Amino acid sequence: MTISRRTMLMLAGGALMPWTPGVNIALGADVGAPRNILVYIFLRFGMDGLHLLAPADDGAYRQMRPSIAINTVGLNAAPALAKLDGVQFFLHPDAGQLRQMFIDKELAFVHAVGAPTQLRSHFEVQEMVDKGIGDADIGVTNGWLARHLLTRVGPASEFLATADSVIGTSPLRGTSGIVPTTELESLPYYIDNERGDLMSALNKGNTPSAKSVQTTLKICQVVRERVSTLPRTPNPNYTFGNLSNKLQPLARAIKMNMGIEVATVDYGGWDHHEYINNNFSNSVEELSNALYAFTDDLGPTLMSRVTIAVQTEFGRRAYENATYGTDHGAASVMMVMGAGVAGGKIYGQWPGMKDNQLDGGDLAVTTDSRQVLSEILTTRMSQERITSVFPSVAYKPLGLISG
């Protein structure tokens, strides 16, 4: 694979470009000591938390979803996972690897979690989640991870962050110097010695443009050296699915020890308005298997520094619709796994599913998703000024992170 001329021009100019799907690298300063890493996975288009982690023995749940409710007995029954506020929850039967990671206390769930908004538009709420804001916040233009990177403690690195989204609307909006990871390994082969010597000769001095080119050439040399240390055979647990195809190159980039601290990856396709029992199974099986493959690929040493947060913009309505699916709702489920996570538990506050407990027909939000993110940034990512990231959210740790 060769790097595109467009990418090369952007590298040389040091510009921030809205790269569409692909994992990207933000350029910083020098590679320092290994730091903790946050991998943030966005399940875009409304993952149904009541289908992933269902109160499947609850009479109200079964009454509201008579055709699509998760089975707890018989063929393909969902396994009982854990209780929250006295209610038993069952994990979707096609999320077998997630169940095992939960049993191994590597994974925790937060139920009835969401953004503080009454909006139900995918794109409006996705933008709110990317910015880390609620209905009461105004005037915010950059992403919450961009604010974190600008205010976190410690030196930066050459490869400070990665992103898999349109950068203009991602949590990293407001960062600069992005180059795709999918092209990262071919970068030094495109800029060979002859081209590198020419670029170096044409970019002497201390101007911003010259410094950008000098940084690019330095990166090429480091990448060239470190790619040679990567295993030639990919981890066999990866599927050929959409999420695996994004996490596999991210794992390789992390293994190169370039100083990555933040990675965002999008996994779409969760807008299950029709026949959710068929369509959701494929999505959740890929999610489960890809996350297992990614953590197994990195191995215990690297995973001791990696914390993974998985979020969606909103959940689905409590009631099934006429086409055996679910429409846009409010609360859903977050997952947190990896280093420092006190796993094997469902966190949050269960609001209940009786009519008078719902939010206009939706599962009510009882935990602001930013509280979960705040706890991760504060305890794992050297963020000592969390109000600079989420100024309108009081810091209330759930006890998700043990260290």
Q: Render pLDDT for 116-149 as a digit per residue (tens, 0 to 9).
A: 999 999 999 999 999 999 999 999 999 999 999 9
Looking at the predicted structure, is the pLDDT value of residue 3 above 50?
A: no
Do 91 and 99 form a contact (C-beta atoms < 8 A)?
A: yes
Pairing of strands 262-266, 159-164: parallel
Mean pLDDT score of the chain = 88
What φ, ψ does residue 45 adopt, rounded to 5°?
85, 30
- Name the residue with higher pLDDT: 192 or 397: 397
Give the pLDDT of residue 221: 79
The domain at 23-165+239-389 falls in which architecture? 3-Layer(aba) Sandwich (3.40)
What residue ranges in 181-286 does DSSP mark as E strands? 262-266
**pLDDT of amino acid 228:** 84
SS3 label, residue 163: strand
Query: Does 403 score more than 70 pLDDT?
Result: no
- For 164-198, the pLDDT digits (tens) are 755 556 899 988 655 566 667 777 776 766 677 77
pLDDT tens-digit profile of 276-309? 999 999 999 999 999 999 999 999 999 999 999 9
pLDDT at 178 (0 to 100): 56
Give the type of residue at 240.
Answer: F
**Cα–Cα distances in Å, from 124 out to 128, 230, 326?**
6, 40, 19
Q: How confident is the model at residue 1 (pLDDT cuts 50, 70, 90)?
A: very low
**CA atoms of 61 and 64, how far apart (whole Å):** 5
pLDDT of residue 203: 83
